[in-house]
């Protein structure tokens, strides 16, 4: 579980952070969106109220202007009334009199009174003032001023404003407006009264000055007055053109409809127009008609910005909130990063722990398998060699226990592999019958041993060859069957295999497998725990039953990986049915036939194992970096009389491979410097060698399933797991050794006549009995011990060399080998120390290595020194039987060796050294020959000329 | 001697002097194009009023905006005055006198208008720094004493609008002399354009005969200055001077390239109708004044035919002479400055700002009249005037002819063209033609 948690933390950490950032942004966005919406609403409301206020101001201005205009009109009307009353009273005024009256009545010098004679086509009249450029001339003419097109439009009603457009006062050239009324005056020529137009003429600037004071709270407001056609009476600086509508058209480019609509709006009521001014800036024009006059309209112009100023606060608020949220976000992000960092560290630690666990498991596999190799291998020897019934019985127990142990280890390894996600489903074509055969064969015996009936019900139409992961399917079924056997004490176990065709896919079938038992069953409440790793149901009751509690969990996991699932039906106390449905490819539709019959026949023909053959003519090569393993291998095949060459490294193996023809070659996978696969590849790349057709079998403690395919794909012909199963080994040899070399088994027995020298018993650091037990007898122990000694010095130097170069990997491999071999010979103290240092090396604990590797090397070398007596004894023993070589022959031999060395013909050097071994040597030459032999053994051929020179 | 006569003499001498100084002014030309540099405090606050007779003066208002970029606190206003000729005098004497006002050449002749110039600032005062050299020769007006009191803002000329698309479509080049003119018309006629040239059949200066033959007539008179006096005096013997121009009209109409009757039928007036008829797109050349050109821009989108099938058009002088056409330069509008202005410094500063090729060109382009400078680049319609030969360009004032001669010629041309008189009859009746 930690593993998953750690992965989630590391793998999911980034995802999680991204998600949180995204959520943060969404929340921030929503808040900002809300604020903007709110601000916009407020702004709109505020704008609306600003516009409303502006419109109110416009209306106020309009009232003031109207009042002013009405007042002015009223003054004009007073003049008119006075003149008209004279006429009404029968004494109409002459034009001169009327103008004279007005001259007196008016107060302001800026205001002119014009009396225009309507009967004059030139629209002349008399003014209260002379012309500016004609000091004595009071006449005035409107001939060239287009002002009186529509006299009917001038109201005769009192109080109604009759106003001209802005025009140039012909008397003074000043832009003016005039209020009008009709008067009756005396025509002096005819003596009749006639109608004339009275005008109260005022400079526009007077009106403009009044409008300036209407601005109120709006500093930049400009008041304009326009007539129905848009012509200005007065206009502010911003409104260009002489006509407002033309101005609007020029700078806002409305289409004709829009233009008409706008002019209609402005001349029909009050309202506000948003438009662009001549600079392209937004502006607001509020309009309203002048009351009591339907011909003039007041426009109040204001830059749009002046109305929107009060919204600044909202933007400020928004800015501050955004900034605050950004700060909060950054703060959150930093905290998140900090936590993430801590979590990542924790996750990494967990991962490291998990990796350590996996490493521990695989190391355990290897470490357990190595001694198991020895245990089971040697136990096989005991089984075969012992004639004592009791010993055989014990030995059988050892074998069973050993196999159980291996099964448990396999479970743990598989489980760790599944957890690490490294379990792959590898589909291959397989024979369904053959698979059933294997697994039923295995379980049936167990069932029968327990007194249970084992029933088979296999559909005879199941296709012969299917495509799927045979190994995994087998593993699943084995787990279910084993479980059934384990938890069933009486009754039967029934295995059913059937299938269904898939409608749409003729190249696949749905395999239906079920196993029913009459076992103890499962309580409903325990069901969900069934597939949980390390859970054992009713632990108290089933304590005697072996198992890790992983079997069902592994089976379920594997089925899940294959797209299936294990179903369970169970009745507590009565039994259970485990079943699954699995989609499998079909390679050969031929039905398997009556499997039960076939199986029965197979069983009846099965024979108990016995030594099946001898092959004295056959020769094998075994390459393993662990001398002890080589020794065990030799022992296992001792009775077959097969000739065995051993090599302690890949390179050594390759030399032998070039030189001698073998029937089968066995290569250990894990070796330092050059591992089994590298060695194989190098061997296969050598052209022109005697072994190009020799099968090469991989030896491996790496028993994790799925490895077979890997080894075969790497180029091995076969593979064999350690501890080596003798039956499998011999079956394999029978398969590969040419038939002509196979002979009938030998009947004679070989006794272990070897004795162990007494001095070994005195060595404190050596547990001789344990060593003999490990090696399977005195002889093999002595052989193993000698091998240990022969390779020891060089091995110690190498460890030192790797360590000095701080090559931790190779140091660890070497220490690992030392651990195994030291333990095999019974040097437990050294073995344990090596084990500690191996672990230190694997975990990269350099400090421990630094502290203790010196002790290891000194212990190792001390042991080798103690064991050196053994060599001497052996040499003496050997020497006794050998003829003493003459100085001449020896000299001759050295010369030839030197020549071969010069010619790099080391094979011949080896041959000579081997032939020299048949002789004993004079005392003074013994050491030199030993050195030569050692040099040859260690492939240090370049040392040979030096050795010869020194001695020669 | 009237002011006008005096001026005309001065102008001739000024023209020849300015021809020489024009070359020397090349260096100053460069200065003229430089960015305007304010000479007064840019935060000056004041209000300046420009008075004129245009009811709308958008091109001037656009210059106000440009001037505000330098003097944002100055307020400029244009006031359109009624009965300008009469009211401007009073206005200048009033309390609300304009700071800048529109003037025209005829005012120089009119005793009544004397106060208009009495109140005018002398703009040639070197202290004012106004660049007068940017004005082309034909548009310059200087008093006898060398003072400049009125500055030209727009000029107009007389010529024809050419539908460039028709020329291009028919692989024709715009004609450059009378021979080519007739050839082109023949080709166009052959191509189906029944009357290749049209215009308003009337006696106004915007009428087609004025632009067709009056510059040609002026050129004849300028080649025989001795006739000016008798022409001005309406001496019937002087009518002979009209013969070459009248014969050109007769010849052209006889050739069938101009149809007065058709023109009368299809073109009701000398302004709006002329433009709208031209926008129909089937008239290769339309005779008229610069005012006609100025009216085109606003009428483009009023003509459905033009909106549907827009085409490219340009203004050219009419190539009535054997060696080409004549560019009759005529100032349309002058500005004078009221020397009694309360804000005289700023008013002069505005004039200094305005008297630059860029600003005058900008105003002319908006109004679509001819700029008084030599830079015709701002309006493509007038691009044919770029580099027009100096010896064929003159102002009406340079001819020394008075308005009566002008009218007599217009009447003679109309009558000859419409078959009311023969050329000889028209010449004989010189002095009595205008009704």
Counting residues of chain A whose pLDDT is more than 90, the rounded percentage is: 12
B82 closest CB neighbour out of A133, A145, A171: A145
H-run or E-run covering A413: helix A389-419
Contact A237 B75 (CB under 8 A): yes
> Which residues of B fall within a CB distance of 8 Å from A246?
56
A133 closest CB neighbour out of B62, B83, B93: B93
A173 closest CB neighbour out of B62, B77, B91: B91
CB B287 within 8 A of CB B267: no
Task: Report chain B's C-alpha Rg in angstroms.
Answer: 22
Share the mean pLDDT of chain B.
88
> Which residues of A fall within a CB distance of 8 Å from B55?
242
CB B77 within 8 A of CB B65: no
What's the pLDDT at B189?
93
Section A457-484 average pLDDT? 86
- Place B308 in a pLDDT band, splitting at 50, 70 and 90: very high
Two tokens, residue A187: 């025509």
CA nearest neighbour of A181 among A213, A202, A159, A165: A159
User: What ranges make up the beta strands (E) of B55-173?
Assistant: 74-80, 100-103, 151-156, 158-163
> Which residues of A fall within a CB distance of 8 Å from B84?
168
Two tokens, residue B314: 């340009």
> Which residues of A fall within a CB distance of 8 Å from B107?
none
Which residues are CB-contacts of A377 (< 8 A; sequence separation ≥ 6)?
A632, A635, A636, A723, A724, A726, A776
pLDDT of residue B320 exceeding 70, the answer is: yes
- Place A535 in a pLDDT band, splitting at 50, 70 and 90: low
Question: Nearest 5°: CA angle at A168, between A165 and A174?
Answer: 120
Distance from C-alpha of B273 to C-alpha of B200, rounded to nearest angstrom: 8
Contact B77 A237 (CB under 8 A): yes
pLDDT of residue B45 exceeding 70, the answer is: yes
Two tokens, residue A858: 């000194």
What is the C-alpha end-to-end distance of chain B, expressed in Å? Answer: 27
A240 closest CB neighbour out of B58, B87, B92: B58
Section A198-225 average pLDDT? 82
Distance from C-alpha of B171 to C-alpha of B187, rounded to nearest angstrom: 10
DSSP 8-state symbol, B223: T
Higher-scoring residue by pLDDT: A358, B264: B264
Taking each continuous run of H as one helix and of E as one strand, the counts in chain A are 27, 23
pLDDT of residue A484 exceeding 60, the answer is: yes
Distance from C-alpha of B64 to C-alpha of B77, rounded to nearest angstrom: 8
**H-state helical runs in A420-451:** 432-449
Number of CB pairs, chain A paired with chain B, less than 8 A apart: 75
Report yes or no: B391 at the A interface, CB cutoff 8 Å: no
Per-residue pLDDT tens over the stretch A431-442:
787 788 777 777
Per-residue pLDDT tens over the stretch B154-179:
998 999 999 999 999 999 999 999 99
Contact A133 B115 (CB under 8 A): yes
pLDDT of residue A673 exceeding 90, the answer is: no
pLDDT of residue A785 exceeding 60, the answer is: yes
pLDDT of residue B83 exceeding 60, the answer is: yes
Counting residues of chain B whose pLDDT is more than 90, the rounded percentage is: 64
Instruction: Please list the residue range(s) of chain A that carry CATH number 3.40.50.2300.
Output: 619-834
Report yes or no: A832 at the B interface, CB cutoff 8 Å: no
> Which residues of A fall within a CB distance of 8 Å from B89?
132-133, 173
Section A656-682 average pLDDT? 88
Higher-scoring residue by pLDDT: A29, A607: A29
CB A511 within 8 A of CB A582: yes
Per-residue pLDDT tens over the stretch B237-258:
999 999 999 999 999 999 999 9
Distance from C-alpha of A621 to C-alpha of A668, rounded to nearest angstrom: 11
Contact B95 A168 (CB under 8 A): no
CB A148 within 8 A of CB A122: no
Per-residue pLDDT tens over the stretch B97-141:
999 999 998 888 788 888 899 989 999 999 999 999 999 888 888
Two tokens, residue A235: 């206009």
> Which residues of A fall within a CB distance of 8 Å from B87?
168-170, 173
CB B351 within 8 A of CB B151: yes
Place of tokens 């409301």: A45
Distance from C-alpha of A585 to C-alpha of A468, rounded to nearest angstrom: 7
Contact B83 A144 (CB under 8 A): yes
What's the pLDDT at A543?
53
Distance from C-alpha of A241 to C-alpha of A42, rounded to nearest angstrom: 37
What's the pLDDT at A772?
76
CB B336 within 8 A of CB B187: no
What phi and psi values does residue B298 have, to the nearest 5 degrees?
Answer: -75, -15
pLDDT of residue A119 exceeding 80, the answer is: yes
Contact A172 B90 (CB under 8 A): yes
With CA atoms as reference, the chain A residue closest to B82 would be A168
CA nearest neighbour of A534 among A521, A553, A520, A560: A553
The CATH class of the B158-316+402-428 domain is: alpha beta
Section A805-824 average pLDDT? 84
Instruction: Please list the residue range(s) of chain A that carry CATH number 3.30.565.10.
Output: 423-605
Section A267-280 average pLDDT? 87
Q: Among A133, A229, A232, A238, pick the best mutation site for testing chain B contact (most B Cβ within 10 A).
A: A133
With CA atoms as reference, the chain A residue closest to B65 would be A279
pLDDT of residue A358 exceeding 70, the answer is: no
Which residues are CB-contacts of B203 (< 8 A; sequence separation ≥ 6)?
B209, B407, B410, B411, B413, B414
Contact A174 B77 (CB under 8 A): no
pLDDT of residue A588 exceeding 90, the answer is: no
Homologous superfamily assigned to B3-154+332-379:
Periplasmic binding protein-like II (3.40.190.10)
Tell me the pTM. 0.54
The CATH class of the A423-605 domain is: alpha beta
Contact B87 A278 (CB under 8 A): no
CATH topology of B3-154+332-379 equal to that of B158-316+402-428? yes
CA nearest neighbour of A583 among A486, A500, A643, A645: A500
Is residue B326 exposed (0-12), middle (13-18) or buried (19+ Cβ within 10 Å)?
A: buried
Q: Among B61, B75, B88, B96, pick the best mutation site for testing chain A contact (most A Cβ within 10 A).
A: B96
B56 closest CB neighbour out of A147, A237, A241: A241
CB B227 within 8 A of CB B235: no
Section A797-825 average pLDDT? 85
Contact A246 B79 (CB under 8 A): no
Place of tokens 């632990």: A539
With CA atoms as reference, the chain B residue closest to A279 would be B65
pLDDT of residue A464 exceeding 50, the answer is: yes
Beta pairing partners, B103: B334
What's the pLDDT at B18?
40
Instruction: Count CB atoms within 10 A of the CB of residue A22.
Output: 10
Distance from CA of A121 to the nearest CA of B (A): 17
Counting residues of chain A whose pLDDT is more than 70, the rounded percentage is: 87
Higher-scoring residue by pLDDT: A686, A7: A686
What's the pLDDT at A750?
43
What's the pLDDT at A826?
84
Contact B83 A145 (CB under 8 A): yes
pLDDT of residue B64 exceeding 60, the answer is: yes
Report yes or no: A276 at the B interface, CB cutoff 8 Å: no
Highest mean pLDDT among A39-53, A133-147, A519-533: A133-147
Question: Nearest 5°: CA angle at A442, between A711 and A719?
Answer: 15
Per-residue pLDDT tens over the stretch B198-238:
999 999 999 999 999 999 999 999 988 888 999 999 998 99
The CATH class of the A619-834 domain is: alpha beta
- CA-to-CA separations, B340 to A205, B94, B100, B337, in angstroms, rounded: 20, 11, 10, 9
Beta pairing partners, A243: A231
Contact B89 A132 (CB under 8 A): yes
**Domain-by-domain residue ranges, chain B?**
3-154+332-379, 158-316+402-428
B86 closest CB neighbour out of A147, A170, A240: A170
- Place B17 in a pLDDT band, splitting at 50, 70 and 90: very low
pLDDT of residue A610 exceeding 70, the answer is: no
- Place A392 in a pLDDT band, splitting at 50, 70 and 90: confident
User: What ranges make up the beta strands (E) of A169-289?
Assistant: 175-186, 193-203, 222-227, 232-234, 271-276, 282-289
Q: Is the dihedral of CA B10, B15, B17, B18 positive or negative?
A: positive
Asked which of A285-289, A927-931, B266-270, B422-426 is least confident by mean pLDDT, the reply is: A927-931
How, if at all, do strands B285-289 and B158-163 pair? antiparallel
CA nearest neighbour of A479 among A548, A424, A542: A548
Asked which of A261-270, A289-298, A840-849 is least confident by mean pLDDT, the reply is: A289-298
With CA atoms as reference, the chain A residue closest to B73 would be A237
CA nearest neighbour of A179 among A191, A152, A197: A197
Asked which of A173-182, A228-237, A360-369 is least confident by mean pLDDT, the reply is: A360-369
How, if at all, do strands B74-80 and B46-52 pair? parallel
Highest mean pLDDT among A376-390, A690-704, B377-391: B377-391
Report yes or no: A148 at the B interface, CB cutoff 8 Å: no
Contact B96 A174 (CB under 8 A): yes
Chain B 129-158, CB below 8 Å of chain A: which residues? none
**A173 φ/ψ sector (left φ>0, alpha ψ -120 to 50, else beta):** left
- Place A877 in a pLDDT band, splitting at 50, 70 and 90: low
Section A541-563 average pLDDT? 74
């Amino acid at each position: 579980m930690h593993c998953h948690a750690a992965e989630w933390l590391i793998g999911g950490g980034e995802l999680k952070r991204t998600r949180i950032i995204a959520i943060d942004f969404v929340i921030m966005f929503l808040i900002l969106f809300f604020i903007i919406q709110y601000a916009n609403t407020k702004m709109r409301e505020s704008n609306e109220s600003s516009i409303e206020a502006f419109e109110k101001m416009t209306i106020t201005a309009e009232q003031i202007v109207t009042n002013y205009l009405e007042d002015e009109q009223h003054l004009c009307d007073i003049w008119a009334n006075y003149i008209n009353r004279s006429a009404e009273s029968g004494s109409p005024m002459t034009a001169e009199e009327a103008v004279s009256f007005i001259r007196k009545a008016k107060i302001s010098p800026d205001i002119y009174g014009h009396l225009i004679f309507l009967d004059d086509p030139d629209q002349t009249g008399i003014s209260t003032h002379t012309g500016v450029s004609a000091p004595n001339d009071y006449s005035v003419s409107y001939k060239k001023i287009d002002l009186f097109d529509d006299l009917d439009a001038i109201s005769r009603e009192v109080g109604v404003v009759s106003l001209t457009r802005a025009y140039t006062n012909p008397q003074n050239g000043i832009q003016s407006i005039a209020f009008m009324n009709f008067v009756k005056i005396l025509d002096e020529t005819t003596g009749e009264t006639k109608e004339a137009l009275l005008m109260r003429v005022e400079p526009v600037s007077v009106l403009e000055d009044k409008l300036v004071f209407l601005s109120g709270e709006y500093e930049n407001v400009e008041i304009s007055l326009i007539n129905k056609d848009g012509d200005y009476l007065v206009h502010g600086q911003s409104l260009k053109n002489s006509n407002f509508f033309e101005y609007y058209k020029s700078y806002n480019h409305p289409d004709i409809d829009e233009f008409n609509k706008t002019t209609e709006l402005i001349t029909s009521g009050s309202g506000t127009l948003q438009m662009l001014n001549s600079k392209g800036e937004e502006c607001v024009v509020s309009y309203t008609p002048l009351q009591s006059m339907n011909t003039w309209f007041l426009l109040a112009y204001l830059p749009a910005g002046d109305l929107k100023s009060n919204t600044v606060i909202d933007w400020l608020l928004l800015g501050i909130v955004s900034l605050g949220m950004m700060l909060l976000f950054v703060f959150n992000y930093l905290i998140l990063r900090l936590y993430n960092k801590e979590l990542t560290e924790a996750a990494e630690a967990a991962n490291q722990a998990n990796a350590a666990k996996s490493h521990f498991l695989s190391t355990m596999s290897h470490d357990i398998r190595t001694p198991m190799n020895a245990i089971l291998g040697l136990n096989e020897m005991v089984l075969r060699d012992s004639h004592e019934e009791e010993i055989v019985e014990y030995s059988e127990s050892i074998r069973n226990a050993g196999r159980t142990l291996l099964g448990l280890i396999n479970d743990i390894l598989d489980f760790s592999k599944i957890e690490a996600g490294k379990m792959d489903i590898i589909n291959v074509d397989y024979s369904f019958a053959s698979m059933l055969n294997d697994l039923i064969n295995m379980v049936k015996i167990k069932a029968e041993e327990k007194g249970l009936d084992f029933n088979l019900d296999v559909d005879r139409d199941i296709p012969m060859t299917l495509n799927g992961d045979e190994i995994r399917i087998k593993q699943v079924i084995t787990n279910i069957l084993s479980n059934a056997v384990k938890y069933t004490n009486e009754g039967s176990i029934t295995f059913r295999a059937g299938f269904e065709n898939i409608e749409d896919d003729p190249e696949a079938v749905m395999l239906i497998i079920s196993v029913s038992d009459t076992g103890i069953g499962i309580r409903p409440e325990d069901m969900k725990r069934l597939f949980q790793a390390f859970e054992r149901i009713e632990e108290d009751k089933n304590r005697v039953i072996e198992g890790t509690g992983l079997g069902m969990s592994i089976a379920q996991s594997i089925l899940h990986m294959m797209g299936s699932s294990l179903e369970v039906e169970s009745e507590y106390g009565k039994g259970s049915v485990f079943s699954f449905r699995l989609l499998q490819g079909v390679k050969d539709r031929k039905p398997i036939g009556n499997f039960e019959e076939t199986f029965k026949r197979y069983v009846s023909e099965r024979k108990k194992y016995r030594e099946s053959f001898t092959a004295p003519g056959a020769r094998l090569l075994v390459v393993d970096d662990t001398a002890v393993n080589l020794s065990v291998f030799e022992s296992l095949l001792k009775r077959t009389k097969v000739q065995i060459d051993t090599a302690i490294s890949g390179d050594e193996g390759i030399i032998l491979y070039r030189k001698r023809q073998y029937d089968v070659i066995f290569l250990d996978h894990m070796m330092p410097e050059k591992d089994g696969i590298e060695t194989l590849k190098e061997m296969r790349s050598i052209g022109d060698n005697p072994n190009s057709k020799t099968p090469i079998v991989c030896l491996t403690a790496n028993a994790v399933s799925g490895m077979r395919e890997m080894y075969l794909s790497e180029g091995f012909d076969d593979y064999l797991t350690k501890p080596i199963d003798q039956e499998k080994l011999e079956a394999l040899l029978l398969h590969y050794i040419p038939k002509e070399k196979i002979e009938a088994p030998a009947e004679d027995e070989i006794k272990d006549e070897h004795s162990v020298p007494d001095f070994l018993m005195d060595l404190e650091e050596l547990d001789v009995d344990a060593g003999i037990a490990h090696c399977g007898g005195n002889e093999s122990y002595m052989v193993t011990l000698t091998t240990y000694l022969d390779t020891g010095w060089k091995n110690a130097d190498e460890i030192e060399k790797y360590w000095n170069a701080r090559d931790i990997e190779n140091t660890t491999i070497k220490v690992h080998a030392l651990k195994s071999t030291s333990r095999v010979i019974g040097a437990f103290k050294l073995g344990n120390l090596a084990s500690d240092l191996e672990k230190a090396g694997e975990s990269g604990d350099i400090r421990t290595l630094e502290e203790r590797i010196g002790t290891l090397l000194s212990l190792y070398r001390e042991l080798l020194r103690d064991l050196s007596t053994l060599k001497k004894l052996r040499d003496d023993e050997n020497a006794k039987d050998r003829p003493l070589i003459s100085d001449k022959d020896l000299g001759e031999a050295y010369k030839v060796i030197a020549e071969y060395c010069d010619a790099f013909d080391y094979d011949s050097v080896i041959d000579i050294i081997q032939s020299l071994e048949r002789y004993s040597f004079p005392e003074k030459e013994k050491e030199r020959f030993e050195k030569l032999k050692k040099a040859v053994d260690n492939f240090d051929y370049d040392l040979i000329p030096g050795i010869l020179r020194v001695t020669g | 001697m009237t002011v006008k006569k005096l001026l005309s003499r001065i102008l001739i001498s000024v023209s020849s002097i300015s021809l020489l100084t024009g070359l020397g002014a090349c260096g100053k030309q460069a200065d003229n194009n430089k960015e305007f540099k304010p000479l007064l405090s840019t935060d000056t606050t004041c209000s300046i009023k420009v008075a004129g007779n245009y009811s709308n003066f958008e091109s001037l208002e656009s210059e106000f905006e440009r001037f505000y970029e330098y003097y944002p606190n100055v307020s400029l206003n244009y006031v359109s005055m009624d009965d300008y000729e009469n009211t401007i005098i009073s206005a200048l004497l009033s309390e609300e006198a304009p700071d800048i006002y529109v003037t025209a050449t005829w005012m120089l002749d009119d005793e009544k208008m004397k106060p208009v110039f009495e109140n005018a600032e002398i703009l040639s005062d070197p202290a004012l720094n106004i660049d007068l050299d940017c004005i082309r020769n034909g548009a310059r007006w200087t008093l006898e004493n060398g003072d400049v009191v009125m500055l030209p803002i727009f000029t107009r000329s007389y010529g024809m609008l050419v539908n460039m698309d028709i020329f291009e479509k028919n692989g024709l080049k715009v004609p450059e002399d009378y021979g080519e003119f007739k050839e082109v018309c023949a080709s166009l006629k052959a191509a189906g354009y029944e009357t290749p040239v049209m215009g308003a059949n009337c006696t106004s200066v915007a009428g087609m005969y004025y632009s067709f033959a009056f510059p040609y007539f002026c050129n004849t008179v300028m080649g025989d200055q001795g006739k000016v006096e008798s022409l001005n005096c309406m001496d019937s013997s002087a009518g002979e001077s009209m013969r070459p121009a009248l014969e050109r009209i007769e010849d052209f109409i006889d050739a069938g390239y101009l149809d007065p009757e058709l023109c009368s039928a299809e073109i009701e007036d000398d302004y709006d109708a002329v433009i709208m008829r031209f926008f129909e797109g089937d008239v290769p050349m339309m005779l008229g004044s610069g005012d006609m050109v100025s009216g085109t821009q606003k009428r483009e989108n009023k003509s459905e035919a033009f909106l549907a099938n827009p085409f490219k058009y340009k203004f050219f002088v009419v190539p009535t002479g054997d060696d080409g056409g004549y560019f009759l330069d005529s100032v349309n509008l002058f500005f004078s400055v009221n020397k009694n202005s309360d804000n005289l410094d700023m008013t002069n500063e505005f004039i200094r700002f305005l008297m630059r090729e860029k600003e005058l060109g900008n105003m002319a382009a908006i109004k679509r009249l001819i700029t008084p400078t030599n830079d015709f680049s701002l309006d493509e319609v007038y691009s044919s005037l770029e580099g027009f030969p100096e010896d064929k360009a003159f102002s009406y004032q340079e001819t020394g002819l008075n308005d009566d001669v002008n009218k007599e010629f217009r009447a003679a041309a109309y009558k000859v063209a419409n078959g009311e008189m023969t050329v000889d009859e028209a010449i004989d009746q010189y002095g009595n033609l205008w009704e």
